[in-house]
């Protein structure tokens, strides 16, 4: 389905997608597609590969789902990291559908690369930046469905570097029992330097300095603890405070 031209001779746009556990693609009306949650879909196409290909595809462990999500470029990976750090995504699927406009044999199909639902239940389809001119077309097709349209944009470089570094602590191995994490946050109730906080917590904790540091970074990733002065400094002199 990823390389074949798709034409629609009907008076309404259609969405071609793959439902979980279905052997064949589904040809749905836009309202039918809008009634399906991202978690009920699987990608309509695989990321193409060939001998000698030079690219940045891979898989990102998305901590809030939790599951691996494939990406086909460094830009896609950056957006996945950004969305993961935001912490509000509850469902996500890449390459969710091919959307074909009504009665067209020449207009290229719309190919959103990401379909996301967040905690408040709202949903968005993401287009690549190169498809920005097609965003109004997709928004028109989806009008009245409650699904928003967004064009992927690269986050701020400095903030993105910080988030990528911090993402190493998104895994559950850096978490501690809830009571221990509450005690660590209580010790950060007022702003203080990261290094000072780690040593003060260690005085009344059975955990060593390395474990406490890792858990603090984990809680910063989960927005339980924040850097007071933003993401410009990762040193032990950077001030932190419980959220």
Name residues of the chain where pLDDT drops below 50: 1-3
The residue ranges of every structural domain in the chain are 14-151, 158-242
Task: Report d(CA 53, CA 198) in Å as an integer.
Answer: 46
pLDDT at 103: 63
Query: Per residue in 52-89, pLDDT tens?
Result: 666 678 899 999 999 999 998 888 999 999 999 999 99
Q: What is the dihedral of CA 21, 24, 25, 30, to 10 degrees?
A: -70
pLDDT at 154: 79
Query: Per residue in 178-210, pLDDT tens?
Result: 999 999 999 999 999 999 999 999 998 999 999
178 phi and psi angles, rounded to 5 deg: -55, -40
204 phi and psi angles, rounded to 5 deg: -120, 25
The DSSP line for 93-111 is EES--EEE-TTBSSSPPB-
pLDDT at 231: 72
Burial 101-131 (b: 16+ CB within 10 A, else e): beeeeeeebbbbbbbbbbeeeebbbbbbeeb
pLDDT at 3: 45
What is 14-151's CATH number? 3.40.1350
pLDDT at 2: 46
pLDDT at 1: 47
């Amino acid at each position: 389905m990823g390389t074949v031209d798709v034409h629609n001779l009907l008076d309404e746009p259609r969405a071609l997608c793959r439902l979980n556990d279905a052997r064949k693609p589904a040809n749905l009306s836009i309202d039918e597609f809008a009634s399906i949650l991202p978690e009920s879909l699987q990608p309509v196409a695989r990321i193409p590969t060939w001998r000698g290909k030079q690219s940045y595809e891979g898989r990102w462990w998305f901590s809030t789902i939790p599951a691996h999500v494939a990406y086909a470029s460094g830009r896609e990976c950056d957006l996945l990291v950004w969305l993961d750090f935001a912490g509000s995504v509850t469902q996500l699927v890449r390459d969710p559908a091919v959307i074909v406009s009504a009665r067209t044999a020449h207009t290229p199909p719309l190919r959103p690369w990401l379909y996301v639902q967040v905690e408040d239940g709202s949903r968005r389809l993401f287009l690549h930046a190169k498809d920005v001119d097609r965003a109004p077309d997709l928004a028109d097709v989806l009008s009245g469905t409650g699904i928003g349209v967004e064009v992927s944009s690269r986050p701020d470089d400095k903030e993105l570097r910080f988030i990528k570094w911090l993402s190493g602590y998104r895994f559950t191995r850096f978490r501690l029992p809830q009571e221990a994490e509450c005690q660590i946050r209580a010790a950060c109730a007022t702003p203080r330097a990261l290094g000072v906080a780690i040593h003060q917590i260690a005085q009344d904790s059975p955990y060593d300095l390395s474990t406490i540091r890792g858990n603090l970074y984990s809680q910063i990733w989960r927005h339980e603890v924040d850097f007071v002065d933003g993401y410009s400094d990762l040193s032990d002199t950077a001030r932190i405070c419980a959220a």
